Amino acid sequence: MTNIETSHILVVDDNPEIREIIQILLTGEGFVTEKAKSGTEALQKLAGHCFDLIILDIMMPGLNGYQTCLEIRKISNAPILFLSARTKDSDKTLGFSSGGDDYLAKPFSYSELISRSKALIRRYQVYKGKEIESPAPKPGIIHFHHLEIDEGEEQVRTGGKVLNLTDTEYALLLLLVKNRRQIFSAERLYEAIWNEPYYYGANNTLMVHIRNLRRKIENDPKNPVLIKTVWGKGYRCD
């Protein structure tokens, strides 16, 4: 087993000050660290190196943390610790459902960051010898009512016919289906899919996409059963 203090950690955050602070803390504990300022850069580093832990911010330009995590899971089973100022249950649900292993809210204590990091690395090193030769799991097929959602092909089919969904419609459907019975507010949905802060008028944009999606997947779009509106709260799939 690798000595935990010589483990390699990748710190991914668009804030240079946070990257620097975390690196100083980790190197002070003996860890070998690398930094990435975006999800894209993180994926490039992962393509050529093996890491024992990835510390990942959520709100980043380009690929956000959730999207980056999904991409990482295609090539690596290293533990992922999310760092975020978002503390709602729906935020944590998104983090875990996208492949994260732990979630630490900002602002965090330095001792908690270190202890969480060590715990994740220790658990990973116990099992990675058994799993390291195993390929990353292939995206599967989700069956939801009459729909067949193929994550590998990023397609939605019904009765063997491929539905003509836009990328945004597909992302909305996949997010809601993978978090069934979880109510997502318009604000949370918009920020998760569009990866930008919610603003006045964004609700209209979201409603248009939901309406178009329902028209393509619902048997009766005027009486939807797949994507339900929870009045005053948001949307959910059952």
What pLDDT is recorded for position 128?
61
When the candidates are 3.40.50.1820, 3.30.1180.10, 3.40.50.2300, 3.40.50.12500, the CATH number that belongs to 4-131 is: 3.40.50.2300
Q: Where are the domains of the chain?
A: 4-131, 141-237
pLDDT at 187: 87
Q: What is the CATH number of domain 141-237?
A: 1.10.10.10
Q: For the chain, 238 residues long, give each residue's pLDDT as a single digit of tens.
A: 445 557 899 999 999 999 999 999 999 988 999 999 999 999 999 987 889 999 999 888 888 998 999 899 888 888 999 988 877 777 777 788 788 888 888 888 888 899 889 888 888 876 664 444 444 455 688 999 999 999 888 899 998 899 998 888 998 999 999 988 888 888 888 888 887 778 777 888 888 899 999 999 999 999 999 999 998 889 999 8
Q: What is the pLDDT of residue 203?
A: 84
Residue pair 120/100 in contact (Cβ under 8 Å)? The answer is no
pLDDT score of 62: 87
- Model pLDDT, residue 130: 43
- DSSP per position, the chain: ---GGG-EEEEE-S-HHHHHHHHHHHHHTT-EEEEESSHHHHHHHHHH---SEEEEESS-SSS-HHHHHHHHTTT----EEEEES---HHHHHHHHHTT-SEEEESS--HHHHHHHHHHHHHHHHHHHHHHTTSPPPPP-EEEETTEEEETTTTEEEETTEEP---HHHHHHHHHHHHTTT--B-HHHHHHHHH-S---TTHHHHHHHHHHHHHHHH-SSTTS-SSEEEETTTEEEE-
The pLDDT assigned to 172 comes to: 92
pLDDT at position 197: 75
User: Residue 131: what pLDDT?
Assistant: 47
